Copies of this chain bind each other. A is one copy, B any other.
Amino acid sequence: MANINDVAKLAGVSKSTVSHVFNNTKYTSEEVTQRVLEAAEKINYKSNYYAKTLATNKSQVIGIQLDSPTGSMNMFQQKVTNGILKVCSDEGYYLLLMPNTAKEKEYFPIDGLIQMNPTLTDLEIVDTPHIWLGRPNYFIIETSYFVDNDNEKVMERLMDLLLPNIKECVLFMNAPEDMTVSRDREQGFSKAIINNKEFDIQTLHVNYQRGLSPATFAYETLSELWKENNIDTIIVDNDFMAQGVYKFAMDNQLSIPEELSIIAVSESLESSEFFTPPLSYVDLKEEELGEKIAANLIKKINNQDISKREIVKSEIKIKGSLRE
């Protein structure tokens, strides 16, 4: 692989001149510029990224810190990543997927970090510009930048919509307990109940337990709670869980939405239309989340001002699964 010296020699100039014409970092005469470019072309010179990074200490890479050690991403994360990738490639940044393996003996000087999936116990990150996807916990929220959905608000709006049509009891199957997002949603859920005391209904709230598949979890939880409660409305975390609920409805010959009204708080599988009747859901605008987060991070890397919290509004999509 040809290097900068080869080009310099061939063009009959010095290393630094070559560097300058390649980086537009100083004026070089038209003639010299041409000579250098031609020489480079001739021997197919490409600047060595690693040497450059070592010298400049700017890597042009953004890392995504994944929350799983194997590096698997769930559908939500994959969609967000697509959004991130879009602006990264526009802005000339590389995207590095970083599984959460504990070792870290090496210092990989990425320019910025995107931290997936905040939990209640995350610690502050230092020495790298970073942005959270979702709300960080209260220990670090003051000092953290993040991009998030309007989780609490959308739950309130959703409940305002649902409440008039709940007959007796609503069940909320929320995300896992340790995720900040599930807290925010629960908050919105509770607020709406309190603010609408005129509707005298019963509420049930459970968190998804990792281990069972979401569909199975939903099915089993519902079977259990069904016996002792007159559940007629169900909010689930995602369409995967909804699958379990639909199956329960079918097994027990319950009609949706007449006897069981259901909505999912995210459509990670993009499966709404596969359900009969089509599943109502909340569109989290994952790509937009990704684009916003990447755009902000890049600004931050370049020391431009950005707001600490950026909210992407989610949108309630009403389909046939909701009782009128």
A89 touches B70 (CB 8 A): yes
A73 touches B78 (CB 8 A): yes
Does A275 count as interface, using CB distance less than 8 angstroms? yes
Interface string of A73-87 (1 = CB under 8 A from B): 100001000100110
B94 touches A108 (CB 8 A): yes
**Complex Cα spacing A271 to B52, Å:** 46
Having A71-B82, A88-B99, A94-B98, one finds 14 other A-B pairs with CB under 8 Å, namely A1-B107, A22-B105, A49-B106, A52-B106, A70-B86, A71-B88, A72-B85, A85-B97, A96-B96, A243-B273, A243-B274, A269-B271, A271-B271, A274-B274
Instruction: From known contacts A54-B51, A78-B73, A274-B243, infer whether A99 and B89 are also in contact, taking CB-CB under 8 Å.
Output: yes
Does A28 count as interface, using CB distance less than 8 angstroms? no
Report the nearest B residue to A51, measured CB to CB: B54
Point out residues on A near B: beta carbons under 8 Å.
Answer: 1, 22, 46-54, 59, 61, 69-73, 78, 82, 85-86, 88-89, 92, 94-99, 101, 103-109, 127, 243, 269-271, 273-276
B49 touches A109 (CB 8 A): yes
The smallest C-beta distance from A120 to any residue of chain B, in angstroms, reads 25
Chain B residues lying within 8 Å of A50, measured Cβ to Cβ, are: 50, 53-54, 59, 109
**Complex Cα spacing A89 to B107, Å:** 16
Report the nearest B residue to A22, measured CB to CB: B105
Q: Which of B47, B97, B243, B273 lies in contact with A105, CB distance below 8 A?
A: B47
B107 touches A47 (CB 8 A): yes
Report the nearest B residue to A73, measured CB to CB: B82
The smallest C-beta distance from A287 to any residue of chain B, in angstroms, reads 9
**Complex Cα spacing A243 to B273, Å:** 8
A107 touches B49 (CB 8 A): yes
A71 touches B54 (CB 8 A): no
Chain B residues lying within 8 Å of A104, measured Cβ to Cβ, are: 46
Report the nearest B residue to A92, measured CB to CB: B103
Report the nearest B residue to A94, measured CB to CB: B96
Chain B residues lying within 8 Å of A49, measured Cβ to Cβ, are: 106-109
The smallest C-beta distance from A28 to any residue of chain B, in angstroms, reads 16
B86 touches A71 (CB 8 A): yes
Report the nearest B residue to A274, measured CB to CB: B274
**Complex Cα spacing A94 to B65, Å:** 12
Closest 4 pairs (CB-CB, A-B): A46-B107, A274-B274, A71-B85, A89-B99
Chain B residues lying within 8 Å of A86, measured Cβ to Cβ, are: 70-72
**Complex Cα spacing A51 to B220, Å:** 54
**Complex Cα spacing A22 to B71, Å:** 26
